[in-house]
Structure 1
Amino acid sequence: MAANDEQTRDHGQDPERRTQFADLIRQRRAELNESLDTFAKKAIDPVSGERVKRGWIYRLETGLTVTPPGIEELRALRAACELPLEQLQDAAGQQFHGVDPLKGGSAVATAYVRKLDRVPADQRANLMRLIDSLVPPEE
């Protein structure tokens, strides 16, 4: 393994290294109990037909350098992850661009979002359905 690859893999070497998107994808694939191959086969953008390849997902999950995903790749990963597009966009923005998704919202919105961590996990899905019924998610 080259020194650069080793440093890229070792998250402890770089305290500024962000892994929110990689962590989200890895955790969701584990929750779905899917192999890398099965997960990659589902990662197809329903709009453009763009696929996210197994190798890219593997590199992302193992901490190797990847090209940041565009909207087509995000939609493809949404199909595989079965998560809201906004959640993937926020995590990708954090990891690849250092964007804090809470900084863009109003003070009221930020206060609500910060409280979500205290909502029991089984109630978060109900809350999201309620919010989606009031304000449909954007594509």
Structure 2
Amino acid sequence: MSEIDTPFRAPYGTPFGDLVRSAKDETGLSYRDLAKRAIDPITGVEVKYATLFRIAKDKPIMLEPGVIGAVAAAIGRPERDVRIAASQQYCGLVADDPFEMSNDETTVVVVHAPGMGRKDMPKVEALLRRYAAGDLPAELSNTDHSSSS
């Protein structure tokens, strides 16, 4: 167990804290050293070591624009993964790709209740497969279907 690990576990786990703790353990860097890398590449927002420490202690933080990107930069993980972990830990939402449809060009993220899996979302899977095949119902396409005669 990490020196920062805590017996507290949020109702839906602590994946955000887990990412930060793992990065610290894997790199051997302190939170101060990780914070030197914690700069969001888009907004320039910087996250200080105290924020990384709070995340690792599974405490709530202010999630202003740029914070997730800065944490991702600090721990060397894709922003998408960090954003998903934070949403699960702080909001109780599981956001993942239960249908394994993401690729280099497209990211598929389905937000769902904890405990749900692919088998629990057959309509979502069918809709995503239709979308991937280019076969969408008119109400879900960008095509203007109103026509004048």
Contact 1:56 1:66 in 2 (8 A): no
CA gap 1:16/1:73 in 2 versus in 1, 3 angstroms: same
Trace 1:99-110 onto structure 2 (pairs within 5 A): 99-102=93-96, 110=98
Alpha-carbon distance between aligned partners in 1 of 2:99 and 2:83, rounded to the nearest angstrom = 20
Residue in 2 aligned with 1:112? 100
- Indicate the structure whose relative CO is greater, using CA pairs within 8 Å and at least 6 residues apart: 1
Partner secondary structure for residue 101 of structure 1? strand
Which has a greater percent of strand?
2
Partner secondary structure for residue 40 of structure 2? coil
Alpha-carbon distance between aligned partners in 1 of 2:24 and 2:7, rounded to the nearest angstrom = 22
CA gap 1:79/1:136 in 2 versus in 1, 3 angstroms: farther
Residue in 2 aligned with 1:4? none
Q: TM-score, normalised by structure 1?
A: 0.62
Residue in 2 aligned with 1:47? 42
Q: TM-score, normalised by structure 2?
A: 0.58
1:57 matched to 2:52: yes
1:81 matched to 2:79: no
Give the ranges of 4+ consecutive aligned residues of structure 1 lying more than 6 Å apart after TM superposition: none
CA gap 1:10/1:110 in 2 versus in 1, 3 angstroms: closer
1:33 matched to 2:21: no
From 14, 19, 22, the equivalent of 2:17 is: 22
1:112 Cα offset (Å): 3.0
Gaps of 5+ in 2: 1-5, 108-149
Report % sequence identity: 26
Which has a greater percent of helix?
1
**CA deviation map 1:85-132 (0-9, x unaligned):** 110011001001111114xxxxxx52438xxxxxxxxxxxxxx9xx32
Larger radius of gyration: 2
1:72 Cα offset (Å): 0.2
Residue in 1 aligned with 2:146? none
Residue in 1 aligned with 2:133? none
Alpha-carbon distance between aligned partners in 1 of 2:61 and 2:77, rounded to the nearest angstrom = 21
